[in-house]
A and B are shown apart, each in its own frame.
Chain A
Amino acid sequence: MVNTNTNALGIIFPNSYDALVPELVNVRLMASIPFASRYRLIDFILSSMTHADINNISVMVNNNYHSLMDHLDSGREWDLVRKNGGLHIFPPFAEKGSKPYNGRVGAMAGILEFLRDQREKYVVITDTNIVVNFDFKAMIQAHIESGADVTVAYNEQELPESFLKSESNDKGYYYTFGIEDGRITKIYVNSRKAGIQNFSMNMFVVERELLVDMINTAFVRGDEFFERDVLLPQLGRLNVHAFKYEGYVARICDMKSYFDENMKLLDEYNLDALFSGPAIYTKIHDDNPTRYIGSAKAENVMVADGCVIEGEVEDSILFRGVKVGKGAKVKNCVLMQGTVVEAGANVEYLIMDKNVTITAGKEMKGTNTFPVYIGKFQVV
């Protein structure tokens, strides 16, 4: 048999960092947050995995996951309907007296039997709050060549402002690294350090059997977080390597970064950087093309299919099926699927969640530093 499959399976944590964007995950989870006019965050990771021939993928949903189940369906859009492997969605395995898990350790402890039974040699673990067109093959190759026990991807960037300012740890943990000769020697938890950091992308490659052992031991010890409780204390014993990623990275760390990272894609340089690699797959809606009618004006916008534009749109991202009425003005907005800006309305610096309606003639404005978010199904 020709061995076309990468010898790795994928594990995705779709609820990671939900707490950073409480409004957006009110009716969903991190992985199903709409992004870049027609995608959801998980599309980037799933497509990257598919392109790396990783086609045995487990999604560890924890809560608020109906929207993600609907989005993923059988996994066909990502070519994940496979007899061997394919897409698995693992909700928490609840028994009488079992407590919900907090971190990766508890989540993976719940599927240890499954992990033991798989045949792939390696496991690739990721979150979904990070938008990348990632080459997992390169990372696995680097892992094999370095002989590391665990390889973690990072990029060099400054921490987002909200991370620097935050004084508590109640929104979760992020990690930065001290690296020597490609080996991670220090893991800093919530460092709040200014300047360029080796910022963890929370993507790991590890041998499956080693992972099973690590999780088994850690779970018995009562550990919760893979980085903080498993890797950090064992840095001396384990060979943990860093994989530097130099491609385009968009991180969703708060509402502001969600807005900014969408807007950044209006710059063609960024758009090409993210999308010129292999295609990013998403759920197909069979919308017809977008129609610009009469006196419609559009400048510097990214627009998905199924929209009807009769008014003016500028510097904005429009998802599928958005309607902008006659004489309406939309500027610096992120309008999610099915939103309606009725005739004569005037909106600026808004993030409108799905199916929001701004009624005729209304005016509503946020600011550059504080874009206003309007929840799903609201009518203004």
Chain B
Amino acid sequence: MAKEMIAMLLAGGQGSRLYALTQELAKPAVPFGGKYRIIDFPLSNCVNSGIDTVGILTQYQPLILNEYIGNGQPWDLDRLHGGVHVLPPYQKASGSDWYKGTANAIYQNISFIERYDPKYVIILSGDQICKQDYSDFLRFHKEKDAEFSVAVMEVPWEEASRFGLMVADENDKITEFQEKPKNPKSNLASMGIYIFNWDILKKYLEEDEADPNSENDFGNNIIPNLLRDQRRMYAYHFSGYWKDVGTISSLWEANMEILDPEHSGINLFDEEWKIFSRNSGMTGHKICAGAEVENSMITDGCRIKGKVRHSILFAGVKVEDGAVVEDAVVMGGTVIKAGAVVRHCIIAENVTIGENAVVGAMPTEEENGVATIGAGITVGDNAKIGPKAMINKNVEGGEEKW
């Protein structure tokens, strides 16, 4: 049975710029927004857009991600035909190889795609926070009779040189592609989300694989080759919320923006476009007598006795008496003990912050770092963690880390 469009989700990246957070975790599995993981966003977008077949390409530290995806039921992707499939590199009669690049990862799964005989394939990236209707993107692709379309965002001109840019004419037809250019000719940044006609994609993947000098990358190889051959390429303008959360500071910022949906553009309180996730199954959260909670998001299983200001708390976080949590992202199961102060930081899952310890500091003009504590770490009583610190080993009581 043929599918009109299936999705291939690139989730193999190491996310090395998230350092302590991705030591044992693929980037798409990084927790986000109180009860989600990053991958919930593209998966929910797929389901909400009517895509019921998704291949997830994994390579780096896939265990937690695999378990999280499971049979896909939380996203309604447990289907008789299609559904969600995790696709790690595998051994073939002709040999085996890691995924060498984004294009090679898809190339190695051509036979997976062909099982569904799709007309179109959408390539998604597992490191973005975005609510996007892919069916509208496909409508555009069909209207333009395109062979390849890419979703683009207008970015401020002064920042344009940080992005891969699409130069397009008044009909949105792409004429040129510039990868992080010094002199940008366009401010249309590629979001790394592509729709291909499957026959075209297959042809270019095979051609790319045959080229020993290729980096097997969509941005560096496939798109330039399509341009070279003057394929029908179009830029689809997207204007909703989109954030690449590939760095500590952008991840922190994207979390903070949830606290201000009136201005930041991402609204998780959207009955029409729910973001699905695997549920913690904990009881409602408890705000105890004497606690203070201000401008924050709090979810199931939390117990709050101290002060929480402008922060995101994930499932089962405990904030003990007299502790202060401010401008912080505190992930599931973490305990902030009595009198500890955590500010302007990201604390990963199942961390213990000891009594009266201090983590991070409110930003000043000279210093605006986001202190980061990796999963499962214990920070001893009275320890002090500076605002630039990146902690992935236990910190003894009273110790200072900068």
**Contact B284 A38, beta carbon cutoff 8 Å:** yes
**Contact B283 A289, beta carbon cutoff 8 Å:** no
B340 at the interface (CB under 8 A from A): no
Interface residues of A in 290-344 (CB under 8 A from B): 290-294, 296-306, 308, 317-319
Interface residues of B in 265-284 (CB under 8 A from A): 268-269, 274-277, 279, 281-284
Q: Which A residues are in CB contact (< 8 Å) with B288?
A: 268, 299-300
A203 at the interface (CB under 8 A from B): no
User: Closest CB-CB distance, B100 to chain A, in whole Å?
Assistant: 37
B73 at the interface (CB under 8 A from A): yes
**Contact A298 B291, beta carbon cutoff 8 Å:** yes
User: Scoring B residues 241 to 273 as 1 if CB is less than 8 Å from chain A, else 0, what string do you get?
Assistant: 000000000000000000100000000110000
Q: Which A residues are in CB contact (< 8 Å) with B268?
A: 288-289
B294 at the interface (CB under 8 A from A): yes
Q: Which B residues are in CB contact (< 8 Å) with A266?
A: 286
User: Closest CB-CB distance, A130 to chain B, in whole Å?
Assistant: 18
- A302→B276 CA distance, assembly (Å): 23
**Contact A271 B289, beta carbon cutoff 8 Å:** no
A112 at the interface (CB under 8 A from B): no
User: Closest CB-CB distance, A248 to chain B, in whole Å?
Assistant: 13
A281 at the interface (CB under 8 A from B): yes
Given contacts A298-B287, A301-B287, contact A290 B294 (CB under 8 A): no
**Contact B74 A284, beta carbon cutoff 8 Å:** yes
Given contacts A302-B285, A303-B287, contact A291 B297 (CB under 8 A): yes
**Contact B277 A292, beta carbon cutoff 8 Å:** no
- A64→B288 CA distance, assembly (Å): 37
Q: Which A residues are in CB contact (< 8 Å) with B296?
A: 291-292
- A317→B283 CA distance, assembly (Å): 12
- A303→B285 CA distance, assembly (Å): 5
Question: Which listed residue, A282, A302, A306, touches B286 by the CB 8 Å rule?
Answer: A302
Q: Which A residues are in CB contact (< 8 Å) with B294?
A: 292, 294, 296
Q: What number of residue pairs across chains A and B have CB atoms under 8 A from each other? A: 101
Given contacts A286-B277, A288-B35, contact A303 B284 (CB under 8 A): yes
A37 at the interface (CB under 8 A from B): yes
Q: Which A residues are in CB contact (< 8 Å) with B289?
A: 299-300
User: Closest CB-CB distance, A228 to chain B, in whole Å?
Assistant: 36
**Contact A290 B298, beta carbon cutoff 8 Å:** yes
- A268→B303 CA distance, assembly (Å): 9
- A291→B291 CA distance, assembly (Å): 16
Question: Which listed residue, B33, B274, B283, B284, touches A286 by the CB 8 Å rule?
Answer: B274
Q: Across the two chains, which residue of chain B brings its CB closest to A39?
A: B283
Question: Which listed residue, B73, B283, B295, touches A38 by the CB 8 Å rule?
Answer: B283
A377 at the interface (CB under 8 A from B): no
Question: Which listed residue, B33, B73, B74, B295, touches A294 by the CB 8 Å rule?
Answer: B295
User: Closest CB-CB distance, B40 to chain A, in whole Å?
Assistant: 10
- A17→B34 CA distance, assembly (Å): 39
B290 at the interface (CB under 8 A from A): yes
Given contacts A36-B283, A292-B294, contact A308 B35 (CB under 8 A): no
A279 at the interface (CB under 8 A from B): yes
**Contact A300 B287, beta carbon cutoff 8 Å:** yes
User: Closest CB-CB distance, A68 to chain B, in whole Å?
Assistant: 20
User: Closest CB-CB distance, A332 to chain B, in whole Å?
Assistant: 13
B326 at the interface (CB under 8 A from A): no
Question: Which listed residue, A37, A292, A305, touches B35 by the CB 8 Å rule?
Answer: A305
Q: Across the two chains, which residue of chain B brings its CB closest to A279?
A: B281
User: Closest CB-CB distance, B129 to chain A, in whole Å?
Assistant: 13
Q: Find the residue from B35, B74, B286, B295 having the highest chain A CB count within 10 A.
A: B286
Q: Which secondary structure dominates chain B's binding surface?
A: loop
- A80→B289 CA distance, assembly (Å): 39
**Contact B286 A301, beta carbon cutoff 8 Å:** yes
B147 at the interface (CB under 8 A from A): no
- A22→B163 CA distance, assembly (Å): 64
B320 at the interface (CB under 8 A from A): no
B104 at the interface (CB under 8 A from A): no
**Contact A299 B290, beta carbon cutoff 8 Å:** yes
Question: Which listed residue, A268, A275, A289, A299, touches B298 by the CB 8 Å rule?
Answer: A289
Q: Which B residues are in CB contact (< 8 Å) with A88?
A: none
Q: Across the two chains, which residue of chain A brings its CB closest to B269?
A: A288
User: Scoring A residues 186 to 214 as 1 if CB is less than 8 Å from chain B, else 0, what string do you get?
Assistant: 00000000000000000000000000000
- A268→B320 CA distance, assembly (Å): 13
- A116→B291 CA distance, assembly (Å): 56
Q: Find the residue from A38, A294, A308 having the highest chain B CB count within 10 A.
A: A38
Q: Which A residues are in CB contact (< 8 Å) with B274?
A: 286
A76 at the interface (CB under 8 A from B): yes
- A271→B282 CA distance, assembly (Å): 12
B193 at the interface (CB under 8 A from A): no
Q: Which B residues are in CB contact (< 8 Å) with A293?
A: 295
B327 at the interface (CB under 8 A from A): no
- A301→B259 CA distance, assembly (Å): 21
User: Closest CB-CB distance, A272 to chain B, in whole Å?
Assistant: 10
Q: Find the residue from A288, A296, A301, A304 having the highest chain B CB count within 10 A.
A: A288
- A296→B308 CA distance, assembly (Å): 12
- A268→B268 CA distance, assembly (Å): 30
User: Scoring B residues 70 to 86 as 1 if CB is less than 8 Å from chain A, else 0, what string do you get?
Assistant: 00011000000000000
User: Closest CB-CB distance, B88 to chain A, in whole Å?
Assistant: 27
Q: Across the two chains, which residue of chain B brings its CB closest to A314?
A: B289
Q: Which A residues are in CB contact (< 8 Å) with B284?
A: 36-38, 302-305, 317-319
Interface residues of B in 361-399 (CB under 8 A from A): none
- A296→B309 CA distance, assembly (Å): 11
- A291→B258 CA distance, assembly (Å): 10
Q: Which A residues are in CB contact (< 8 Å) with B286?
A: 266, 268, 271, 301-303
Question: Which listed residue, A271, A304, A308, touches B300 by the CB 8 Å rule?
Answer: A304
- A146→B73 CA distance, assembly (Å): 43
**Contact A292 B298, beta carbon cutoff 8 Å:** yes
- A111→B317 CA distance, assembly (Å): 46
**Contact B34 A271, beta carbon cutoff 8 Å:** no
Q: Which B residues are in CB contact (< 8 Å) with A296?
A: 293-295
B299 at the interface (CB under 8 A from A): yes
**Contact A305 B300, beta carbon cutoff 8 Å:** yes
A-B CB proximity, top 6 nearest: A37-B284, A289-B34, A289-B299, A288-B268, A304-B284, A298-B287
> Which residues of chain A have a CB within 8 Å of any CB of chain B?
36-38, 76, 266, 268, 271, 275, 279-282, 284, 286, 288-294, 296-306, 308, 317-319
Taking A288-B268, A297-B292, A305-B299 as known contacts, 14 extra A-B pairs with beta carbons closer than 8 A to each other, sorted by chain A number, are A76-B73, A268-B288, A275-B283, A284-B74, A286-B275, A286-B276, A286-B277, A288-B33, A289-B34, A290-B298, A292-B296, A302-B286, A304-B284, A317-B284
List 9 interface pairs A-B (beta carbons < 8 Å), by A numbering. Answer: A268-B288, A286-B74, A289-B268, A289-B313, A292-B294, A292-B298, A296-B294, A296-B295, A301-B287
